[in-house]
Amino acid sequence: MTGELDHRKLLRVVVFRPGALCFVLVIGLAFIFTRCKLASGEGRLPAEMIEFTGLVTDPACPLPGEPEAGRTQEIRLDQGVTVLLYVETPARRGDRIRGKAVFACGEGSRNPGGFSERNWLWSKGAVWTGYARQVEISPRDNWILALKRLPDRLRDWVRLRHASFWRTPPGPLLLSLTLGDTRLLEDKETYWLRASGLSHLTSVSGTHLIFLLGPAAWLARRTSSPRRLRQGLTLPLILLPGILSGWKTGISRASIMTMATRLDPLMRQRRDLFNLLFLTGSALLVSQPYSIYDQSFWMSLTTAGAVSYTATRLSCREDSIRQKFKTTLCFSLTAQLILLPYQMTTSPGIHLLSPLVNVIALPLAACLMAVSYPAVLILSCLPAGTGVEKLAISLFLFLLKPVSWLILCLSEIVAKFNQAFVPLRLIFLLIPLPTVIFLLKLNRLGRRPLRLTCVLLASLIWILAVWLVFYHPDQSQVLFLDVGQGDASLFVSGSGRSLLIDGGDKGNGFSTIIPAARTLSLRRIDLAVVTHAHADHAAGIAELMEAGFIGQLFLPAVDAREVDEEDNMTDELLLIAYQSGTAVDSLKQGDSFSLDGWLVEVLHPAPREGLVDLNEASLVMRVTIEGLSILMTGDLTEEGEGQLIRTGRDFSSRLLHVPHHGSRYSSSDAFLDACDAGIALISSGRNNRYGHPHPDVLDRLDQRGASLYRTDRSGAVFLKIRGGKGTITTWLKSPDD
């Protein structure tokens, strides 16, 4: 009966509270209000550059050391639409701004597992984004605006006044942990934190308050002052993380609840914790209704609720050092279990080492934050640019650098341990486990005459159904990713073997290819080929090697010293491959290799001497999967096409990956006739400055009746192959459909 009573108690805690009923009502009203407002704003999007006037509602924080640099500011236009606008000359909160801009609505993710700009805009109450031109700022000043600008001035001052502290290792990590500002972190460091499950530390929340107030409370207890006085003196500290970070939803929730519970002894009362949690969530949604689309809002509420419930269950335990350790461990594990579903939205699956590394990293982060906040306060009191300040900065960095290095080192090790990653598809197989445990518990209690064999049979049926729905061992697929003005094509066999041809420009390795590979249940990529070493094809591959995500790398058999190109990344790729332990080999005309029954033939280029144009020397490969051939061409030029034709080799294919993003200097009539492809795919960026694909190329493809797919219009393109037959689907609906 104890288990039944516990479940009833939990039900009463969650449901039968005035705050819970209020929270449900506010959620419904916030959803209706915001959806109507956002839909109305998206429907009023102008089709061309327009003149705008508006009011700056959020000036955004400057980068440390760059006070006059441009930034994306939140502006409420006179027609009532909120936009996020990049402004080269920043304005203050409340200033009037006018200028010209081309606006666009935020899009959802353009690749599986990709970033959704639309959701990000919605969480800020905005629907349009743009780049302002010919901006004119009209300053406004009054005492109300002066009060509203005080937090902005303090945030800007902390970032700019201590730029030498934030921009020196380990400053970027300290800035992200204490102020929630991750802009100075390198892309690979951001990936390590996200992949290892430590990115929540960079979102200022209740954890930061605990780390800040803990040492302060310990020092206060060492004084002889009354308890109420100590509580009152620590109240201002509750506001500090929120002011410095900009009052994001997580820290706002934590600050309100902490302030209320700290006032309880002064007001001689004790609040119901869960009722306070729901009322706080209601208040935040009333003041910031668009938080309903912010993942951090829900993450903060659910984590706080789970930890609070765990605290009530453990509050009656003995007060010993051993018990305190168990309680802390229990809190950490509870928080990690709640955070796992949110982590799965950014990485389709879970990392088995994430809970363990959090248990280790949380105390380390507590040490960093407990020292960083006082360090900022002490440095603020010292004269700027003096030897005393420089000495203090050196001392703090000396103390903090080992701990911050250890956190980054732990996150890197865990992120690169791909064997511990469990794909989302495998997690579906574990869904029956809680049901089995629950049914067996009922069976022990004698509530129902259930047989263990029946329970196991039902579980096996579920696992078989999930396997049939999500797994097709006889199906191969090719994912042509949308990496903007670049190329990246991921081939995956039915047994899970993988081949990546090109990786897009900088940032696409961490933010596009890895999430897409995770959605396809890949722990790593077996083989990667760089058709040529221009950044829009090779930079993403370099990032993947830094992440330990590639087993073997293939490069064109062209000596980098023979190439007269400033953006040639060959040397950089070789260096990163050496540092990461990635095996490297070269490919040339006449080579071939197989992968899980596929045949990959290298058709171009032949070895040569002298200066070589990288585009002209792009690797051209024909990949044959179950009789269906795909011609991959990189950035092959018309000159390179002619060389390929003169070899006399047959390179006809069912699908053509159009050379050089559809440039006018490629895809000649002779080349297209020799290829004789019924399907053409062009990888190019939306509204790219090169005008790709060129109308002449589109006309030549249309004359040959080729079915055309473009990543700039439809996002990622899927080709699924089974039994020698291919099926093509697109991630987004094309405007032409």
pLDDT per position as a tens digit, 462-520: 666 655 555 555 688 999 999 999 999 999 998 889 999 999 999 999 999 999 998 88
401: pLDDT confidence band, cut at 50, 70 and 90?
very high
pLDDT at residue 201 in the model: 84
Query: Per residue in 692-733, pLDDT tens?
Result: 999 999 999 999 999 999 999 999 999 999 888 889 999 987
What SS3 class is residue 658?
coil
What is the model's pLDDT at position 547?
A: 92
**The amino acid at 586:** S
Q: Which pLDDT band, with edges at 50, 70 and 90, does 404 fall under?
A: very high
CB atoms under 10 Å from CB of 157, counted, come to 11
Q: What average pLDDT does the segment 108-121 reach?
A: 89
User: Kind of pairing, strands 655-657 and 679-682?
Assistant: parallel
Question: Could you say which DSSP state residue 90 is in?
Answer: -
Q: How far apart are CA 249 and CA 195, in angstroms?
A: 23
**Average pLDDT score over residue span 425-439:** 60
pLDDT digits (tens, 9 = 90+) for 527-577: 999 999 999 999 999 999 999 999 999 999 876 555 555 678 888 999 999
Q: Residue 641 and residue 616: Cα distance in Å, rounded?
A: 8
Q: How many helices (H) and strands (E) does the chain have?
A: 26, 22
Structure tokens given for 643: 């060389």
Considering the domain 44-149 in this protein, what is its CATH number? 2.40.50.500
Q: Give the pLDDT score at 200.
A: 81
Residue 440: which pLDDT band, with cuts at 50, 70 and 90? low
User: Which region among 119-133, 350-364, 560-574, 602-616 has the lowest average model confidence (pLDDT)?
Assistant: 560-574
Amino acid sitting at position 484? G
DSSP annotation string for 400-469: HHHHHHHHHHHHHHHHH-GGGEEEHHHHHTTTHHHHHHHHHHHHHHTSS---HHHHHHHHHHHHHHHHHH
Q: Which of 705, 710, 696, 699 is nearest to 677 (CA)?
A: 705
Residue 328 above 70 pLDDT? Answer: no
- At position 29, the amino acid (one-letter code) is L
Residue 18 — very low, low, confident or very high, per pLDDT cuts 50/70/90? confident
Helix (H) or strand (E) holding 570: helix 570-580
Rg of the chain over all Cα atoms, to the nearest angstrom: 29
- Choose between 9 and 589: higher pLDDT: 589
**DSSP state string for 142-198:** -HHHHHHHHHHHHHHHHHHHTHHHHTSTTHHHHHHHHH---TTS-HHHHHHHHHTT-
Contacts of 708 (CB under 8 A, 6+ apart): 680, 681, 682, 698, 701, 702
Can you tell me the distance from the alpha carbon of 572 to that of 593, in angstroms, rounded to the nearest whole number? 25
pLDDT at 322: 60
- pLDDT reading at 146 higher than 90: yes
What does the pLDDT read at residue 80?
Answer: 85
- Per residue in 343-359, pLDDT tens? 666 667 778 888 788 88
- Quick: pLDDT tens for 579-597: 999 999 999 999 999 988 8
Cα(268)–Cα(297) distance, integer angstroms: 30
| pLDDT given at position 642 | 92
- 550-556 and 583-587 strand pairing: parallel
For residues 205 and 691, give the distance between their C-alpha atoms in angstroms, rounded to a whole number. 45
654 pLDDT exceeds 90?
Answer: yes
CATH among 3.60.15.10, 2.60.40.1220, 3.20.20.370, 3.40.50.2300 for 476-730? 3.60.15.10
CB burial of 1-17 (b: ≥16 within 10 Å; e: otherwise) equals eeeeeeeeeeeebeeeb
Question: So what's the pLDDT on residue 5?
Answer: 45
Query: Do 731 and 714 touch, CB atoms closer than 8 A?
Result: yes
- The whole-number average pLDDT for the span 51-70 is 90
How many Cβ atoms from other residues are within 10 Å of residue 708's Cβ? 17
Mean per-residue pLDDT, 268-284: 80
| Paired tokens of 389 | 């300040």
Check: CB of residue 152 under 8 Å from CB of residue 92: yes
Report the pLDDT value the prediction gives residue 526, as an integer from 0 to 100.
94
Percent of the chain with pLDDT over 90: 43
Residue 300 in this model has a pLDDT that exceeds 80? yes
Task: Give pLDDT, residue 2.
Answer: 45
3-state secondary structure (DSSP) of residue 31 = helix
Cross-strand partners of 100: 51, 133
Domains 44-149 and 476-730 equal at CATH topology level: no
Cα 229 from Cα 220, distance rounded (Å): 10
Q: Any idea which of 88-102, 275-289, 415-429, 597-611 has the lowest mean pLDDT? A: 415-429
For Cα atoms 95, 100, 101, give the angle at the middle one, nearest 5 degrees. Answer: 105
Q: Which long-range contacts (CB under 8 A, 24 or more apart) does 185-192 make?
A: 187/506, 187/507, 187/510, 187/511, 187/543, 188/510, 188/543, 188/546, 188/547, 189/408, 189/411, 190/510, 191/415, 191/510, 191/514, 191/543, 191/547, 192/408, 192/411, 192/412, 192/414, 192/415
The pLDDT of residue 4 is 47
Average pLDDT value for the chain: 83
Q: What is the pLDDT of residue 40?
A: 87
Q: What is the mean pLDDT of residues 51-64?
A: 91
Q: Which pair of tokens denotes residue 102? A: 């081309």
Residue 469 token pair = 């729905």
Domain spans in the chain, listed from the N-terminal domain onward = 1-33+205-316, 44-149, 162-196+319-423, 429-463, 476-730
> What is the reported pLDDT for 623?
95
> What is the rounded average pLDDT of the residues 314-340?
61
Q: What's residue 445's pLDDT? A: 47
> Lowest-confidence range among 139-143, 305-309, 416-420?
305-309
Tell me how many degrees the CA angle 174-180-185 measures, rounded to the nearest 5.
55
User: CB–CB of 494/475 below 8 Å?
Assistant: yes
Please tell me the predicted confidence (pLDDT) of residue 574.
94
- Determine phi and psi for 165, rounding to 5 degrees: -80, -45
Answer yes or no: is pLDDT of 460 > 80.
no
